[in-house]
Structure 1
């Protein structure tokens, strides 16, 4: 988390430099590109796909929910973090885009592979060489945060019996889910060859389908189980509007971008045979159970991990049955 704090500070510093230099550029009377910032074609499907990339940039609001077990006083700090971070990030990102569009035309923004670098080469003079460094630091910080939080998804799934139990194991001293983090990193490396925008469109379709279904389930529970304790509760209109937004983000890209969304559907459906084999098939042959136990024991020995609920007085590593 100290690494995350350091790289987040570097990101905010670079964004502050871009905002200040962009506003200074506008103050000097350079407003010609701002006057044409809305030029170009717009469509319902294009807006949905643009939201995929935009919401990917704002995606940090969602990741904090994955680590509520590790938050101090989550009932207070989680809402506080959301209410502070979302307006702050919104203000910063809007000002950054205004700075970009004050210097670059929409066509130049679309043609650039790194907008911040193109902006710096036009405005910052000798300081332009620092922006690629800050972009790299920002990317590393985002990656660190995503791996830190996404690994907890595998841990939670394994703890509920939906994934191999070893993915819920934590290090005996560091108390970090090393197997889950390694799986997350491996899957991330396997996707490196894909085009970034196709990857965002594909995975965003699955993401917003899953989030919409989860929020819908919470609404259903609010109606069918009103007696359940709810330490954090919002007005019903908020999740309803949110679900309508999710429907738009799922349905419209299926029509306008069938390839990327189709790959997302196939990616989701690929989990069904794995789930059927690993979870649905209860009476597996003994040799499969033996292989599973031996491999789990080997992972424990190599990574020095144990089940989270394992008590200190129990052996750290249990021998597999034969």
Structure 2
């Protein structure tokens, strides 16, 4: 599935070392990697999800346990991905691992769902959340106009796409700065809450373990907690650009996941020190309710902090999504043009623009949030498939280099938890499950028609080649040199 051959653009970038030596560069440091994981995980979740966790359990103690276990679960998954990312060093994350383990069709279906729903929906929702909170200080007495929120979300997406097109280092600096800003915001919340506890405001912790212990409701609490940890595997999508990935990938995981878990648990301790259960349930954004009680006239700063957090989250999702589509293109599962990179800046401009446009298109969807219901199970299934693939490759290719090899009990426990997350919602939301399956399976005829059998007429292929050459000249992009392919 290609869009034509390249024109004669040559790289003149001195950093390449030679004319025409064009490929993604290893510019992501250990600090950048830690910031990418933390910055992608900490979006709007910790400012919103505590309400969902508490509403499900009605218990302060059980809520805190769920937050701890959600962090532990994410860490187990990240450890499995450390083995995957150091044994299969291509960028692309789940797509690359499923490809190597189970073949091109399974990988394409994962890519298909990512293109249609998962990636653009996630980016759009985080961008809308950013816009909502960024506009809030200007509309203190009412909700911001819907058109203003969507326009601001579009500006956010376009601005960050432009930065990512111009420079990987600039994109990583944005990630570092906004990660620091969101950590600062959470530290302020934590210290304020702990001060309240020290001053004797502990009544919300009385009878902390009285509440709702129904298994169904506790599971729903885990959904809210795990939503806030989403993004723990995103560094695996850019391993080709990570410096010394064999050392820095596991290091970044060991630094980032315990840090995020600690911050999340302490933030919830702070929330419960200030807010009662009724106040927690009645507030869609718990951080805003917390700020209203504790910061007085400075309460308007809380939406700003949430906006900063989500802005960095959009940047991380945009950065990793483009690498997923680039890797899919290199394997022939997307038009060849999406694998091209800028001849001088070494950034994947076409895949970045495609990622941005697909998210902008969803801004016209009336209720984009409903799309979350269709991909939650598919997302966890793809994660489970990646970890199952890791176990299968241990059997299929026992001599594959594995700089990191986790204890077998870790992926087994993780797979059990993943399958629970996949199977549990089926009785409660069978329609969403059915739609998610149909969207996934709709990729099968696409795969066989345009990739396996390549039924596209020659006349159409020539038109695509011409379009590719025109776009290539406009964007000044070329096919990259690749050290390996997934099917090699």
Distance 1:190 1:45 in 2: 36
Deviation, 1:205, is 1.5
Superposed, which structure 2 residues align to 1:14-29 within 5 Å? 14-29=185-200
Residue in 2 aligned with 1:309?
Answer: 481
- Could you tell me which residue of structure 2 aligns to residue 62 of structure 1? 233
* Partner of residue 264, structure 1: 436
Q: 2:391 — aligned with what? A: 219
Are positions 1:233 and 2:405 aligned together? yes
* Corresponding residue to 1:138 among 305, 309, 314: 309
Matched, 1:7 2:178: yes
| TM-aligned CA deviation for residue 38 of structure 1 | 5.3
Aligned equivalents of 1:208, 1:37: Cα separation in 2:
31
**In structure 2, distance between residues paired with 1:38 and 1:105:** 14
Unaligned stretches of 5+ residues in structure 2: 1-171, 483-488
CA contact (8 A) 2:450 2:456 kept: no
- In structure 1, the residue matched to 2:345 is 174
Paired residues for 1:113-128 under 5 Å: 113-128=284-299
CA distance in 1, matches of 2:210, 2:370: 24
State the 1:284 CA deviation.
3.1
Return the alpha-carbon distance in structure 2 between the equivalents of residues 84 and 128 of structure 1.
31
Q: Deviations over 1:187-224 (max 9, x none)?
A: 33344447676444433322110011111111111012
How far apart in 1 are the matches of 2:204 and 2:372?
Answer: 28
1:67-216 superposed matches below 5 A: 67-192=238-363, 193=365, 198-216=370-388
- The TM-score with structure 1 as length reference comes to 0.89
Specify the SS of the correspondent of 1:60: coil
CA contact (8 A) 1:171 1:306 kept: yes
CA change 1:291–1:48 in 2 (3 A) is farther
Cα distance in structure 2, aligned partners of 1:41 and 1:208: 26
Distance 1:202 1:49 in 2: 16
Alpha-carbon displacement from aligned partner over 1:119-170 (angstroms, at most 9, x marks no partner): 1001112221111111001000011011101211111111111111111111
In the alignment of these two chains, the number of paired residues is: 310
8 A Cα contact 1:169 1:177, kept in partner: yes
Higher relative contact order (CA 8 A, sep 6+): 2
Using a 3 Å threshold, how does the CA distance of structure 1 residues 195 and 106 change in structure 2: closer, same or farther? farther
Q: Deviations over 1:233-254 (max 9, x none)?
A: 1111111111111101100012
Alignment match, 1:284: 456
Gaps (5+ residues) in structure 1?
311-322
Q: Distance in 1 between matches of 2:366 and 2:375?
A: 12
Deviation at 1:266, TM superposition (A): 3.1
What SS does structure 1 have at the residue aligned with 2:403? coil
Deviation at 1:39, TM superposition (A): 5.6
Aligned-pair distance for 1:109? 2.4
Distance in 2 between the 1:34 and 1:159 partners?
Answer: 54
SS, match of residue 61 in structure 1: coil
Cα distance in 2 between the residues matched to 1:56 and 1:165: 33
Residues 148 and 194 (structure 1 numbering): CA distance in 2 closer, same or farther, change over 3 Å? Answer: farther
What is the Cα deviation at residue 43 of structure 1?
Answer: 4.0
